[in-house]
Structure 1
């Protein structure tokens, strides 16, 4: 909660101070599909849900100053942090196993979510192409939240 809620809240507060004077800016936070569907721990789910709420509240306060505020909710990515949280020793084999399960659950075939995909989504929200996008939670999950129940995404490996 300290990082996912208070950290995001303080980040928005402090960068907004600078952006308000410039009458422009773009703030992008990271939520999670866990905050949309449930899954994971109670604290994680609640904290990521709060990020979406903070995004929307910030739009109401900062939009008139020309500041866009959005968040991104990615599905699970087989990073070392995720592998460790699942009790797996990070290795190419462990990463491939997790990626196979995620890919198998996704309705979007032949695609695996990678860190670069979140970078691309962030670049879009930070670009002039999204000049009229604010208060949006960009879900980058290959359709998982549309077709799965909350337990399917957060399977123990």
Structure 2
């Protein structure tokens, strides 16, 4: 329960406060864009702990509710859901030693590439930033309540079947 409460405090309450306080600033201007981060763990189970999975599912729900409530003020609310990304947090999750970050980054990227369905590409933090930039741009001016999945096709495959 301690892990669950921590995940909810950081991943869910943090997003809720972000939406709430950004909305307070944006409502008087009658425009704005709020982007949160969920995860592929927020789409289906089996990729992370109960706590993390529940919190990321809830972030997608908050995104949709935020979009529903803030649309009347011209505010768009969306989220980005990345798959595995070589970060220190990922190293810790996979039980990797974090003393040699560059070495572990390569190891983590190799693992993520192995399970990715989009070959010859490696997900980088820059790719997530580009997805968020799109959601914040004029090109996405009519996109709200959306969960932009950046996972190289991982979530479109039933991995239990082993067909692809």
TM-score, with length taken from structure 1: 0.91
User: 1:37 is paired with a residue of what secondary structure?
Assistant: coil
Distance 1:146 1:130 in 2: 23
Which residue number corresponds to residue 35 of structure 1? 42
Greater displacement, 136-145 / 76-85 = 76-85
Shift of residue 94, structure 1, vs aligned partner: 2.2
Gaps of 5+ in 2: 1-7
Deviation of residue 93 (structure 1)? 2.6
- Is residue 2:103 matched to residue 1:93? yes
Say whether residues 1:67 and 2:45 are aligned partners: no
Q: What TM-score comes out, normalization by structure 2 length? A: 0.87
The correspondence for 1:80, drawn from 48, 64, 88, is: 88
Secondary structure in 1 aligned to 2:85? coil
* Unmatched 5+ stretches in structure 1: 153-157
Work out the number of aligned pairs and report it: 151
TM superposition shift of 1:84: 1.9
- What's the secondary structure of 2:76's corresponding residue? strand
1:143-154 correspondence runs (5 A) = 143-149=153-159
Post-superposition Cα deviations, 1:32-69, rounded to whole Å, max 9, x if no partner, equal 00111222110100000000000001111100100000
- Corresponding residue for residue 106 of structure 1: 116
In the other structure, the counterpart of 1:155 is none
Q: How many Å apart are 1:85 and its aligned residue?
A: 2.2
C-alpha contact 1:37 1:149 (8 A) present in aligned 2: no
Structure 1 stretch 77-86 or stretch 52-61: which is displaced more?
77-86
Find the aligned partners of 1:97 and 1:135 in 2 and give their Cα distance: 35
Do the aligned partners of residues 35 and 149 (structure 1) sit closer, same or farther apart at CA in structure 2, a change above 3 Å counting?
farther
Distance 1:77 1:87 in 2: 15
- 1:99: Cα distance to partner? 1.1
Alignment counterpart, residue 152 of structure 2, candidates 138, 142, 151:
142
Per the alignment, in what secondary structure is the counterpart of residue 36 of structure 2? strand
In the alignment, is residue 10 of structure 1 matched against residue 17 of structure 2? yes
Deviations 1:52-108 (A, max 9, x none): 000001111100100000000000101112112222123333222221121122121
